[in-house]
Amino acid sequence: MATHDNTEHVSDATDEAVGWESKLRYFLNSDFVRSAPYWGIPFVLMSIAVYGGIGYNFAISFTDYEGLGTPDYSTLDLEMYAQALSSDAFIAAAQNNLVLLVGFTTICLVLGLFLAILLDHGIRFSEKFQTVYLLPMSLSFVVTAQLWLWMFNVESGILNLVVTTLGFNPVDWLGNPSIALGAVIFALIWQFSGYTMVVYLAGLQSIPDDQFEAARVDGASITRTYLRIIVPQLKEASVSAAVVLMVFALKAFTFLYALVGRYRPPNGTDILATLMVRRAFKFGEWAYSAAIATMLLIMALGVIGPYLYYQYKQGSL
Amino acid sequence: MVEHDSSDESVNRRKYLKALTVGAAAGIAGCTGGGGTETESTESGNGNGSGGSTDDTETSGSSSGGSWDSQLEVLHGWAGGDGEAAVTALIEAFEEEHPEMDTNFQAVGASANVNLNATILRRLANNNPMSSFANWPGKNLERYSGALMDLEADVWDAEGFKDTMQARAVELCKFNDQMPAVPIGSHRMNNLFYNTAVFEEAGIDASSLDSVDALLDALEAIDQNTDVTPMAQAMVAPWTNLQLWAQILTSQSGVEAYTNFIEGNPDRAAVVEALEALKTINENYITADASSISFTTAGQKVISGNAATIHQGNWVYGMFRADDSFNYKEQWDWIPFPGTEGIYFYHVDSIVAPSNNPSREETIAWQKFVGTKEAQIAFNNPKGSVPLRTDIDPSELTDFLAMTYEDLTDSEAYPPTIAHGLAVTPKTMGACKTAFGDNFMGPFKVEATADALIAAVSE
């Protein structure tokens, strides 16, 4: 950015002035400044698009901005936050978000680890299974949501075909508020357990065979070998997979929106993101939505923060 | 792009972004030594095709009627099926009338205008208005309060629409002493469509259905005597329950009870009674997959003979008609919703113009066209709705629509629909939908729904 050079040479400069000038010249010739055009432009664009947006959202959330006017910055307060925290809809959405976050991430990790261990045992067609498990991950939420809408259909869905064949009553997967969230989590797990599997598989394959052999020689059972020796070495993989999954859980908006094609998801599956979009774009409650957005951001940071700290402690940051 | 540059003073998101962009552009330009034309790029997205940067000078002498200077940009939500056919017919007729005008008609999503309304709201909030957009008139316009253009003198008076449009449509197009909308068509809400073969099999005489109780008996008879599900209902969204409930309330307790409800004086007993009847229907007589299907899928169930009846606005007529083997008076027939005979439950689609209009002259010409006989006939026949002009020859409409049109001009009462923006403000409508969404999607909680509905209109 600062490419201008100080071309004015002061002829009768003192030692001090020369020192200052050469310092500046050193600075301008440093790697930091000379590389600036390369990292600087993306940095500026990023700042505007992401951090500028966050900043503006933050500012709006303190106003009472609503409808089609312009925000009034003269009275800034936390009213919108208080209003959100005392609203049942917000609490319910936050709870659903938390359940989604914890349930989805945990089950995905456990299932992915299980699949990875199976595949790591060199079963036949393991590459093909790997592809089968991973494929859903490559589909867009829009596709998987429509697919699961059909699967969950009470009358003609394949899930109820199974349920009724087993002799149970058909289940209203998405219509019953007490199981709708479970159904959504189930669909998301279907889509993302393949991803955790791949992450774990990479981790498993990087563990040398010697360790399995040594454990066997020492007489450890397979379960014991995995629990005591192998799984503890997958901590890195677990942490990074968990972070990615949690971020996806916070972004489940896309899935829910594609499921019903509107901002109100099936009863019992309202999350903060859907609530926020609904308040903003159906009713123009910009300030209120901005407050929800800020709290959603804080939740996301709550997930990412410990990870970054962990990475920092490990020395990889 | 011409007139609204200096209208507001305080910071909004567009200005903020523009400032940042300009700052960044200047910074980059400073680095690279390039020219200063980058700032133009933020505006060029809606240029009119005749060259980006000279727009401002071109539009200065724009009063001559023959040539148009700006692009007409119209947003609507008719992205598929009958709606798409209707709007295409409308656009073709308009382009024939004004072949030299540069137009840009955009269909924004489907799904009950969710995307359309969000897009309009966002663009108006960003002070980036379009020429006009499709929306419901009436209380629905509250959403765009303060950002609407007054068409009263330029369109309504100039074309004499106040005399040729239905009086209540004229009233609905008034908002805050302005007339920002021109109605394009009306759907009737109090319908019961039925599959004639199923009714015959169950031994039901449709003309004898004159009350909600009679309807419940008929549904029970269908349930007992046939393998067909008595009623198709779509509950993927709560508005279908809300509109069906409004029909039941009106049928059981009269138009006055409904009017009192939307005006904020609800009678709790009547509200509860209607909810009880709706609960009976939803628990016993609708398809089991109701909670995951939309109204188009529900309508298909009537066509395929898997369901006997459906209550919907008569947009399902547009859908029935698209199926050549499913004909009016043969495979399907219609009665007014039981107990609402002589009532035309009122729904209006209109074309609304925002203020700060980017193409004032073009917008006026377009809005004038929307109100013409030609436009109303072209649009409404494929759409399954009826024109709001009082001077249409019914023979220009299809049989079913001609009948509906006669009811439109000659009914005893015209209660405005609650689920489609006319009766209550968008906020109240949202609260009513939430009342059903939270409490009445199964399990059906009558008392909780009644409380929420009453709270919604009493605020």
- Token readout for B104 is 């840009």
Tell me, yes or no, if B200 comes closer than 8 A to chain A by beta carbon: no
- The nearest alpha carbon in chain A to B436 belongs to A267
Peptide bond into B443 cis (omega under 30): yes
User: Containing H/E element for B230?
Assistant: strand B229-232
The three-class DSSP label of residue A287 is: helix
- Token readout for A179 is 């199981």
- The nearest alpha carbon in chain B to A152 belongs to B292
Query: What is the pLDDT, as a whole number, of residue B13?
Result: 61
As a whole number of angstroms, the distance between CA B228 and CA B81 comes to: 27
Do the Cβ atoms of B114 and A261 come within 8 Å? yes
Query: Is position B182 within any domain?
Result: yes
Query: What is the pLDDT, as a whole number, of residue B5?
Result: 42
Among the partner residues A3, A170, A262, nearest to B111 by beta-carbon distance: A262
CA distance B289 to chain A (A): 5
Chain A residues at the B interface, defined by Cβ less than 8 Å, are 1, 3, 37, 41, 44-45, 48, 52, 56, 67-73, 149, 152-157, 170, 172-177, 260-264, 266-267, 281-284, 286
State whether B105 and B150 are in the same domain.
yes
Domain that holds residue B358: 69-186+347-409
Do the Cβ atoms of A175 and B125 come within 8 Å? no
CA distance A155 to chain B (A): 6
Which residue in this structure is represented by tokens 């003269």? A74
Tell me, yes or no, if B144 comes closer than 8 A to chain A by beta carbon: yes
CATH number at residue B285: 3.40.190.10
Average pLDDT score over residue span A201-208: 90
Do the Cβ atoms of B288 and A70 come within 8 Å? no
Best CA proximity match to B62, nearest among B75, B48, B44 = B48
% residues pLDDT > 70 (chain A): 94
**Neighbour-count burial for A251-266, b at 16+ CB within 10 Å, e otherwise:** ebbebbbbbbbbbbbb
Query: What is the pLDDT, as a whole number, of residue B423?
Result: 93
- List of E strands, B280-328: 307-310
State whether B299 and B324 are in the same domain.
yes
Neighbours of A111 (CB within 10 A): 18
Do the Cβ atoms of B11 and A175 come within 8 Å? no
Contacts of B290 in chain A (CB under 8 A): 175
Average pLDDT score over residue span A52-78: 90
Do the Cβ atoms of A71 and B110 come within 8 Å? no
A294 in Cβ contact with A58 (< 8 Å): yes
Do the Cβ atoms of B112 and A262 come within 8 Å? yes
Query: What is the pLDDT, as a whole number, of residue A213?
Result: 87
- Token readout for B290 is 């109701």
CA distance B442 to chain A (A): 6
State whether B180 and B199 are in the same domain.
no
**268-307 in B: which are within 8 Å (CB) of A?**
287-294
Top CATH class of A81-314 equals mainly alpha
Total residues belonging to chain B: 459
Query: Is position B414 within any domain?
Result: no
Query: Is position B200 within any domain?
Result: yes
A267 in Cβ contact with B441 (< 8 Å): yes
Best CA proximity match to B348, nearest among B183, B168, B190, B116 = B183
A154 in Cβ contact with A171 (< 8 Å): yes
Query: Is position B56 within any domain?
Result: no
pLDDT at A264 over 50: yes
Tell me, yes or no, if B448 comes closer than 8 A to chain A by beta carbon: no
- Token readout for A250 is 């916070």
CA distance A288 to chain B (A): 14
Among the partner residues B27, B238, B291, nearest to A174 by beta-carbon distance: B291
As a whole number of angstroms, the distance between CA B327 and CA B154 comes to: 43
State whether B226 and B122 are in the same domain.
no
State whether B182 and B207 are in the same domain.
no
Query: Is position B16 within any domain?
Result: no
Over residues A133-159, the pLDDT tens digits come to: 888 888 888 999 999 988 998 888 899
**225-254 in B: which are within 8 Å (CB) of A?**
235-238
State whether B212 and B284 are in the same domain.
yes
Contacts of B124 in chain A (CB under 8 A): 68
**71-100 in B: which are within 8 Å (CB) of A?**
none
Question: pTM higher than 0.90, yes or no?
Answer: no
Average pLDDT score over residue span A161-178: 88
State whether B174 and B254 are in the same domain.
no
State whether B225 and B328 are in the same domain.
yes
State whether B429 and B305 are in the same domain.
yes
**383-442 in B: which are within 8 Å (CB) of A?**
426-427, 430, 433-434, 437-438, 441-442
Which of A303-307's residues contact partners 24+ apart within 8 Å by CB, and which partners? Answer: A303/A101, A303/A243, A303/A246, A303/A247, A303/A250, A304/A243, A304/A247, A307/A239, A307/A240, A307/A243
pLDDT at A235 over 60: yes
Output the tens digit of pLDDT for each of chain B's 459 residues: 444 444 444 556 666 667 766 665 655 554 444 333 333 333 333 333 333 333 333 333 334 445 788 999 999 998 877 888 899 999 999 999 999 999 999 998 766 678 898 899 989 988 899 999 999 999 999 989 889 999 999 999 999 999 999 999 999 999 999 999 999 999 999 999 999 999 999 999 999 999 999 999 999 999 999 999 999 999 888 899 999 999 999 999 999 999 999 999 999 999 999 999 999 999 999 998 888 888 888 999 999 999 999 999 989 998 898 889 999 999 999 999 999 999 999 999 999 999 999 999 999 999 999 999 999 999 999 898 999 999 999 999 999 999 999 999 899 999 999 999 899 999 899 999 999 988 998 789 999 999 999 999 997
Exposure of B26 in the CB half-sphere (CA atoms within 13 A): 6
State whether B287 and B203 are in the same domain.
yes
Query: What is the pLDDT, as a whole number, of residue B247?
Result: 96
DSSP character string of A178-231 = HHHHHHHHHHHHHHHHHHHHHHHHHHHHTS-HHHHHHHHHTT--HHHIIIIIIG
Query: Is position B126 within any domain?
Result: yes
Among the partner residues A69, A152, A282, nearest to B292 by beta-carbon distance: A152
Residue A316 pLDDT grade (very low, low, confident, very high; cuts 50, 70, 90): confident
- Token readout for B115 is 């995307």
Do the Cβ atoms of A264 and B238 come within 8 Å? yes
Beta-sheet pairing, B103-107 with B72-76: parallel
State whether B245 and B284 are in the same domain.
yes
The count of structural domains within chain B is 2
- Would you say the ipTM is above 0.90? no
Query: What is the pLDDT, as a whole number, of residue A255?
Result: 92
Average pLDDT score over residue span A50-63: 93
State whether B149 and B196 are in the same domain.
no
Give domain limits for chain A.
Answer: 1-34, 81-314
